Amino acid sequence: MRYLPLTDADRSAMLARIGVDSIDALFRDVPETARRDGLIADLPCHQGEMQVEQQMRAMAAKNLSAGSAPFFCGAGAYRHHIPATVDHLIQRSEFLTSYTPYQPEISQGTLQYLFEFQTQVAMLSGMDVANASMYDGSTGCAEAVLMAARATKRNKAVLAGALHPQYRAVVQTTARFAGIELVLAPPRADGAEDVIAAIDADTACVVVQTPDFFGHLHDLRPVAEAAHAAGALLVAVTTEPLALAAITPPGEMGADIFVGEGQSLGVGLNFGGPYLGLFAATAKLQRQMPGRLCGVTEDVDGRRGFVLTLSAREQHIRREKATSNICTNSGLCCLAFTIHLSLLGETGLARLAELNHQAAITLADKLTEIGGVTCLNESFFNEFTLRLPKPARPVVQQMAERGVLGGVSAARLLPDIAEMEDLLIVAATETNSPEDMDSFATALKEALA
């Protein structure tokens, strides 16, 4: 379809209607220091369709994509093999074009897969009930803090230092406008967490991630006990849901709310989205949950049917009484997650987790044989942190120039902490062959030379 821009007369009429004399006047509240001066220099003002396609392809070719090189990046986004069946099914028109299932009598397919998704998330996390997803893990984490504040009628949250920095940032933004006080433990790459000391009678919740940003595994039971003794809730975060097939689920360690990122099952990296927020809780907190919750019922003829059991959001005229300001869920990503997990089954999921863990052990052993490289993790799933003998960011760049995407520099996401400069976060999955690992070790050795 061709793009037909507005004419100058159209623009003038629109500006006159709203009472301003120029398009620039619409942005007068934006500080001048935040505005771009002029056009983007390396892009032409206009070209023909074929020329635009050629230029876009040339720009895209500058990327070293995950599928075209040995790839060991993680830090909240993971590359796994996605069966072709997943994409084939989610692109069926009845799934790809469906919208919110307000009319259950014509939305049974959508409601059923959301119900199955909820069941899978609840089983993985060890929680009583899960919702039909959030936008992503970070916004889900912020919603969990808001939910804990509502449930406890307190306005203070304690965030562990090894919580993913982007999750922490989203919580900080949300809490600032919600009037919630945050206690932020300092980020530590050694796996030590001392959030218990910060819990007091005003604490609504403690937010702890496992595996954490640096790959460390945590026993949440002591934190859960301390939080519950003070009348607070424990929010458990996981950015790699595959880990839940290998470690003790958060619900079995006393978590009251579980938040996760579901991208690694069924959803490709896609240069950063869309992603899928997982959210689950104990039964007594289910009416405080954000988003929507699908349930099972019977019609007048006794036939099984699916409905939106809970969906108390602002668009349902609840306004300030709404449990969330998120208006929708990530339905298509839910479906991809559910299909992938269904194809694996319980045995396949456990086997996949085993392969990931073994790959990470093999890679960690190989990389720590390089002089000056040490691993900071006593325990990990498929992700670990290396300390290098030089700053990690230029090392990552040099490895990329050698055709290897060799992890994420901790300083990239924690730029203001000097102790992070020489830390490299590395993830290994079933997609990494022995040859990939050899290439990584060679590239790292050369970059450190």
- What does each of the 449 residues of the chain score in pLDDT, given as a tens digit? 456 678 889 999 999 999 999 988 999 899 988 888 877 777 777 788 899 899 889 988 888 889 899 999 999 999 999 999 999 999 998 888 877 787 888 889 999 999 999 999 999 999 999 999 999 999 999 999 999 999 999 999 999 999 999 999 999 999 999 999 999 999 999 999 889 999 999 999 999 999 999 999 999 999 999 999 999 999 999 999 999 999 999 999 999 999 999 999 999 998 888 999 999 999 999 989 998 899 999 988 999 999 988 875 555 556 667 777 776 778 999 999 999 999 999 999 999 999 999 999 999 999 999 999 999 999 999 999 999 999 999 999 999 999 999 999 999 999 999 999 999 999 999 999 999 999 999 999 999 99
| Residue 81, token pair as written in the block | 């093999």
Other Cβ atoms less than 10 A from the Cβ of 244: the count is 24
Q: Are 119 and 112 in contact (CB under 8 A)?
A: no
pLDDT at res. 279? 97
Could you give phi then psi for residue 387, rounded to 5 degrees?
A: -100, 125
pLDDT at res. 216? 98
Please give the helix or strand (H or E) that residue 434 lies within, else none: helix 434-448
Question: Under DSSP, is residue 332 helix (H, G, I), strand (E, B) or coil?
Answer: helix
Q: What angle do CA 374, 377, 382 make, to 5 degrees?
A: 105
Please give the helix or strand (H or E) that residue 149 lies within, else none: helix 137-152
Please give the helix or strand (H or E) that residue 207 lies within, else none: strand 203-209
d(CA 78, CA 86): 17
Question: Under DSSP, is residue 257 helix (H, G, I), strand (E, B) or coil?
Answer: strand
The angle that helices 331-367 and 108-125 make with each other, rounded to 10 degrees, is 30
d(CA 114, CA 303): 19
Other Cβ atoms less than 10 A from the Cβ of 312: the count is 17
Which among 187, 135, 143 has a CA at the least distance from the CA of 165? 187
- Residue 259, judged by CB atoms within 10 A of its CB (0-12, 13-18, 19+), counts as buried
Buried b (16+ CB within 10 A) or exposed e, 382-420: bbbbbbbeeebbebbebbeebebbbbbbbbebbeebeeb
Domains of the chain from N-terminus onward: 69-81+345-448 (3.90.1150.10), 84-340 (3.40.640.10)
pLDDT at res. 43? 75
- Which residue's entry shows tokens 């470690």? 247
Tell me what percent of the chain is helix, strand and coil, each rounded to the nearest 5.
Answer: 45, 15, 40
pLDDT at res. 326? 74
Give this prediction's pTM.
0.90
Could you give phi then psi for residue 25, rounded to 5 degrees?
A: -65, -25
Strand-pair category, 233-238 with 277-281:
unpaired
Buried b (16+ CB within 10 A) or exposed e, 155-192: bbbbbbbbbbbbbbebbeebbeeeebebbebebbbebe
Fill in the amino acid letter for 259: V
d(CA 414, CA 187): 9
| Residue 117, token pair as written in the block | 């998704």
Q: What is the CA radius of gyration of the chain?
A: 24
d(CA 122, CA 187): 29
